[in-house]
Structure 1
C-alpha cells in the first residue's frame, strides 16, 4: 500500500560520506565543509516523474556514537540506505552491518551504496545523469564486489555506485530507496528460485486474460499497444516491441515447454509471464508494478478495496440501480463471450466470462442461478436474464456489483456504473402514514407470501417464462426471480419477486428492515383450497402493524381450478373491502393475460403506493392515483418477446461493431 511518506535511514561506517550524500541531494552541489551529522530532513518534492511515489520522504542521517539511538532509529525506518566507500568499510557490510540488522529483527529493504566513486570520466557521468533525468537506464549497476552481498543477503534489494563530489548517481540512489517501498521486488520475485511468486503469476495471468480481447490466447500488436497506453499513458515504441518479440523468440520455450511467441499471432500467456520475469531479473520490476497498478493491484497483490468497494452514500430509504453506463458495459461483456451468437451463455462461455473473477457470486449460487432469471430452452442465461440478474444483484447488494465490475475490467470509477435513487418520501393524511408516489426508480421488489402449496413457486416460474408444470410445484426452499417488463411508451422496469418457505416467511415478516427494502407485498392464496385464505388473515392479525403502511395486493392463485368457499371469518372480497383494497385478482399460471395484469398491478402498486395501502379511503387515494387502465404491458419472458428482441438487437449491435 502506498504511504503518505517514507523514512529513509542513512547508515554506514564513519567517514564513508553519508552526510555529504544527503547534502548533495538537497543542494544539488557538493559542499566540502559540513557538520558531522544532519537533523532529519523532509523532502516534499520527488526526483522522478513516475507515479505512485510518496508525498514526502524523510531522510535521517545517523552517527555511530550512540548505538542505542542508532538501533531505535533503524527500527523506525522503512528502508535502509547503507553506505560504504573503501575495502575496510566493504568488509564490515557483511560482518557488522547486515548482522546488526538481523539481530534487531529488521525485515526492511536495504539499498547498498558504494560512495566516493570519483574516478569515472566526465562523459560517462554526464551520460548517466542524462539517463536519470529521462527516467531511462537500468537502476542496478553491476560490479563484482556487489555479487557476494546480493547472493548472501536477500534483504539487499540493489546496489549502486555514487559520488557526492561529482554528483554522480546521488539522485538515482535516493530514487532506489523510494522505489524499494513503492515498487517492492519481494512480492513479485523469488530471487533464490529465480521465479515469479504465485500471487504475481495469478495477477499477471488475469491481466493477460483481460487484455486478450479476441480470446485467442495471444496478445497481438493491437492488444499490446492498448496495454501500453493503459499502463504507461503512451504508445509503445515499435523498436521496443520488436525487441520484446526477439527476446521471447530467442528464449523459445518456458520451463513447461510452452511457446512464448508466435510470429503470426503474438505473445502467449507463458510469454507474457516470462517477459515480466525478465523485468524482475534485470531490476526493472518497476515496469511490472506499473502494469499491476494500472489494473488496481496493491502491494499485497490483491485488488484494491478502494476500487472494489468505493464509498457510496445510500440513505436508509434509497435504493441502488445500474446506470446506462453499467448496462452498456454488461451488454458488451455478454456479447463478447457469446462466441456462438446464439443469444445465451453456455456453461463453457460462462466459465470463461468469470475466469478473471473469484467465480460466480456467492449470492447467485445461493439463489439457484441461472434459474433465478431468464434462460433459454437449453437452460442458458440470455441477455435479458443476464441484465436482470445484475439489476437484482445491484438492488440487493451493490457492493457485489462494484467488485465484479472491477474483476471484469471496468475502466472507470465503478460509481459511474451505478445510480442512487432519492430517499423514499412519505405522506400523512387523516392520521394515516403511507408512502408517496415514486418517479425515479426502475427496480422494485415484491414479497410473495402465502400458505405452502398455494402456487407461489408456479407464479415465480411463470414470471420467468417457464412452462407451467402439470403437477404442483411445491418447495420447502426460499426462491427469488427477476425479470424485466416494458410498459407502453417504452418505460422499462425490473421486478424482483421473493418467495420464502413458511419458517423464513414468518421471520421476515417480523423484521421491519425487510419491509423498508420491499416495495410491494403480494398476499397469495389458493382459490381451490378452502383452508388457504385463513392463513392470510392470520398473517395480517399477527403482523398487521408492520404491513399496514405497505402497498398490498391480494391474489387468488390457481384460478383455472374450481373456486372454493373459504373457511375463514370473512370471505376474500369482504376482507379486502374492510381494508379499503381491491378485491383479489384471480390469476392462473396458464392464463397469460391474468399474469400480465398481475405484474402491471405490482408495478402500479410500487409506483403509486397510496392506492394499495390498507386503510386509505378512496378520497385519500385519488390524488395519488395514476390511470393504468389504458397501459399495455409486455412481460418479456412470459410471451418470449423481450428475449427475441434482445437477441435481435445483439445481432444488429455485433454487425455494427464489425462494420
Structure 2
C-alpha cells in the first residue's frame, strides 16, 4: 500500500542529544548543507527547517532542530520537556553503554514520554561486519528493553550516509508514532489499535458479510491513499497475510482477523505510517480516539430553532435499517441492533435512560420497525442533535457534499413572537416536521394510556403511576397526507421543576392538559396547575377529556371545563377514549395543528380583530379625522373674516 499524507504538528522540536564528540553537530550540518564540514563548533544554535526541505509527505510545516550541551543540565532538562522527539546519538562502545546507564534513566526521571530515535553515528569507521554486529548486539537489545525507542539507524555525517533518513525517522516518530499501535515486548498490536481497526473493517464491509471482498478492499485503499493497487501488489498482500494464518485472505476476501494481521505486519516492518494513513482517514487521533471535531462539528442553531433530519439523513438511517434487518422481517431484533451499533459506544445513553425500545413503534414480536426506527432518530435529533451527529460519525455516514455529518441535519427557522393586547404569542413556523408535547394532568387521568395509544398499543386496565419521566414518539398523518413526528412526554416527578423553567418550556411546542371526565375531582388539578405555574400560559394548550366512553361527571370545581376554555380563548375540550381510535387520531392531529398555529391555542390571547371590522375602524377613524380638520379650517376662516 502507498503511504499517505496526514495532518501533523505545525511546530515541533526534534532534539539531538549526547556527549560532545559523537558527531551530533556534524549530523545537523550535513543535513542542512548536504556536505560534511570538519572542525565545526560543538553546539549549534537552534535551526528551523521548513517543510519544503524534506521530501517526505509526512513532514510538519516546520521542524526545529535543537542541538544541546550535555554539561548544562538545567538547559538540557528544559529542552527535553519542550521536545516532541529525541534524536539520541552515540558513536562508540562507551557512548552506547551510556544510553542504558544514563540517558534513558534521565528521560524517565523527568516524567516525559517521548519517542527516541537511536542513531549509531560514524559508520564510515566501521566495516560491514561491524554493521551486522551493531544491529544484533546493540539495536535489538535496546529495542527490546526500552519501549520509548521507536527506531534505530546507522549514520555517517562524513559520508552523508542515512543522514536524511535519520531526520525522516525523527519526523515520523511524531507524525506517525509506533507506540500507540504496537507493543514491541508482546509483539502484538495494542488493544486500542485493534479496536479502531476492527471498527474500520466493519464500516468498510459494506454488505456486512464478514469479508472485505476485492472491490471493498480496493475502495478502502483508494479512500485512504488516493490510488488503487495493481494485481501484483494485491497478490503480495494476500500471500503475506496467509503466511501468518492460512485462510484469512481467501476467495471471499479479507477477514477481520486478516485485516488486523496485515496491519501488524506493517508495524513489524516499520511501515506503520500505512496504518496511520488508514486511521487518520477515519478521523482517529494519536490517542486512537475519534476526533471531537469529527464527532461534534459546529452547527449554528438559533435559540428558538429546532434541528431535524434532512432527507439525506433519513435516507442514511433507512439504508442502515435495511442493511441490518438480516431476516427481512421488517424489524430490528436485539441481535441485529447490537450488530448495527457495533462501531459505536453502544445504544445511545439517552435511549437507555428513556427505556428504548418502549419509546417507539414495534411489531408484534417487540422488534423496532422502520417507522419506529426513523421516529426514534427524529426524536433524538430534536431533543439532542449532538447525539445524532456523533452517531452519524460512529456509524460511517459519508457525504460527497461539504459539511460532513451536518448535511444529514437541517435547522428550522427561528420561532418568533408577537404581542397582541399585551400578550406574547408565538407565530407559525412552516418548515418544522417534528413537534414536542408535554402531557399534563392529575394522577390516574389517563396520561400513560395516551402515550401508549400514540404507539398503537392496546389499552391496559393495569394502573402504574408514572414517577420517572416517560417519552414516546410516532409519526402522525395530517390532512393532505403530510407526515410529521409527534413526541409525547409525561414529566412524572420532574413536572414542577420543568413547568417553572422557561428554557424547558421553550422546547415544548404544545401542552396536552388531560383530565378524567368520569372523575369529578380530576379537572381541578388543571386549574391549580395554571395558578401555580404561570409560565405555561405562554405555550399553546389543548385540553382533553379522557375516558370519554365512561359516564361523564360534573367536575367539583369553581369553573367547568367548557367555561374554562372559553375564558382562556382556547379550543373546547376534546372528548377522547382509547376505545375510539378516530378520536385519538383527531387529538394527535390537533396537537400538531396547535403547534403549527400557536395563536389559536395560546391561553389568554384575545381573538384577532377580523379584517372587515378592522377596515371599518380605519374608515371611521379617517372620517373623524377628516371632519376635525374641516371644522378647524371653517373656524379659522370665520376668525379671519372677523
Shorter-chain TM band: 0.7 to 0.9
Counterpart residue number, 1:423: 414
Q: Deviations over 1:468-495 (max 9, x none)?
A: 3355565444211111123344533211
**Alignment partner, residue 380 of structure 1:** 367
Show structure 2 runs of 5+ residues with no match. 1-6, 128-133, 613-642
SS in 2 for 1:539: helix
- Give the C-alpha shift of residue 32 in structure 1: 4.8
Select which of 351, 358, 364 maps to 1:364.
351
Aligned to 1:79: 85
CA 1:443–1:28 in 2, change beyond 3 Å: closer, same or farther? Answer: farther
Tell me the equivalent position of 1:304: 291
For 1:491-530, list aligned pairs within 5 A: 491-501=482-492, 503-530=493-520
Which residue of structure 2 aligns with residue 532 of structure 1? Answer: 522
Question: Residue 120 and residue 237 in structure 1: after superposition, are their counterparts in 2 closer, same or farther (change >3 A)?
Answer: farther
Instruction: Please report how far the alpha carbon of residue 447 of structure 1 lies from its aligned counterpart in structure 2 after TM superposition.
Output: 0.5
Structure 1 equivalent of residue 535 of structure 2: 546
Give the whole-Å Cα distance in 2 for the aligned partners of 1:43 and 1:606: 62
Distance in 2 (alpha carbons) for counterparts of 1:390 and 1:567:
43
Map 1:29-44 onto structure 2 (within 5 A): 29-32=35-38, 34-44=40-50
1:60–1:620 Cα change, 3 Å: farther
Contact 1:610-1:621 within 8 A present in 2 as well: no
Shift, 1:55, TM fit: 3.1
Distance of 1:165 and 1:604 partners within structure 2: 84
> How far is the alpha carbon of 1:381 from its aligned partner?
0.6
Equivalent position SS for 1:43? strand
Report the alpha carbon displacement of residue 612 of structure 1 after superposing the two structures with TM: 0.9
1:198 corresponds, among 191, 197, 217, to 191
Tell me: CA distance 1:495–1:29, structure 2 relative to 1, closer, same or farther (3 Å). Answer: farther
- TM-score, normalised to structure 1's length? 0.85
With over 3 angstroms needed to count, the CA separation of the structure-2 counterparts of 1:63 and 1:384, relative to structure 1, is same
Superposed CA offset, 1:24-73 (max 9, x none):
3334444456443322122331525545x533222101133433322332
The TM-score with structure 2 as length reference comes to 0.87
Tell me the distance in 2 between the aligned counterparts of 1:388 and 1:37. Answer: 68
In 2: Cα distance, 1:411 partner to 1:115 partner? 48
How far off is 1:430 after superposition? 1.9
- What is the distance in 2 between the residues matched to 1:504 and 1:145? 68
**1:611 touches 1:621 (CA, 8 Å); kept in 2?**
no
Do 2:20 and 2:42's aligned partners in 1 also have CA atoms closer than 8 Å? no
> Is the Cα contact below 8 Å between 2:43 and 2:67 reproduced in 1?
yes
Does the 8 A contact of 2:244 with 2:261 survive in 1?
no
Question: Are the aligned partners of 2:375 and 2:474 in contact in 1 as well (CA < 8 Å)?
Answer: yes
Q: How does 1:309-328 map to 2 (within 5 A)?
A: 309-328=296-315
1:111 aligns with 2:100: no
The CA RMSD over aligned residues, in Å, is 2.4
State how far apart, in whole Å, the 2-side matches of 1:64 and 1:477 are.
66
User: Distance in 1 between the 2:55 and 2:395 partners?
Assistant: 32
- Superposition pairs of residues 162-177 of structure 1, within 5 angstroms: 162-177=155-170
- C-alpha distance in 1, partners of 2:90/2:291? 39
Q: Give runs of aligned pairs for residues 363-512 of structure 1, distance below 5 A.
A: 363-412=350-399, 413-469=404-460, 475-501=466-492, 503-512=493-502
Question: 1: distance between equivalents of 2:104 and 2:548?
Answer: 85
> How many angstroms apart in 1 are the aligned matches of 2:307 and 2:62?
39
Q: Which residues in structure 2 correspond to 1:603-618 (within 5 Å)?
A: 603-618=592-607
C-alpha separation in 2, matches of 1:553 and 1:35: 87
Stretch deviating more after TM superposition (60-69 or 607-616)? 60-69
Structure 1 counterpart of 2:575: 586
Alpha-carbon displacement from aligned partner over 1:452-477 (angstroms, at most 9, x marks no partner): 11111111111111123355565444
Query: Is the deviation greater in 338-347 or in 503-512?
Result: 503-512
2:14 is aligned to 8
Contact in 2 for aligned 1:455/1:474 (Cα 8 Å): no
How far does the alpha carbon of each residue in 1:139-184 deviate from its partner, in whole angstroms, 9 at most, with x for none?
A: xx95654223223333221011233344433222112112112222
Partner of 2:635: none
How far apart are the structure 2 equivalents of 1:289 and 1:273? 13
Deviations 1:242-295 (A, max 9, x none): 111112222226xxxxx533x222222222222222221222221122222222
Structure 1 counterpart of 2:74: 68
Larger radius of gyration: 2
1:93 and 2:77 are equivalent in the alignment: no
C-alpha displacement of 1:87: 4.4
Q: Alpha carbons of 1:64 and 1:468: their partners in 2 closer, same or farther (altered >3 Å)?
A: closer
State the SS of the aligned residue for 2:530.
helix
Per the TM alignment, residue 535 of structure 1 is displaced from its structure 2 partner at its CA by 0.7
Cα distance in structure 1, aligned partners of 2:587 and 2:229: 59
The 1:193/1:425 distance shift into structure 2, 3 A limit, reads same
Which secondary structure state, in structure 1, belongs to the residue aligned with residue 266 of structure 2? helix
Contact 2:420 2:606 in 1 (8 A): no
2:267 to 262, 268, 280: 280
Q: Secondary structure of the residue that 2:117 maps to in structure 1?
A: strand
Task: After superposing the two structures, state which structure 1 stretch, 99-108 or 109-118, moved more.
Answer: 99-108
For 1:202 and 1:622, the matched residues in 2 are separated by 67
Other structure's SS at 2:251 match: coil
Matched, 1:225 2:213: no
Which of residues 168, 172, 184 is equivalent to 1:179?
172
Equivalent residue in structure 1 for 2:248, among 220, 238, 260: 260
Instruction: Extract unaligned runs of 5+ from structure 1.
Output: 122-140, 254-258, 624-659
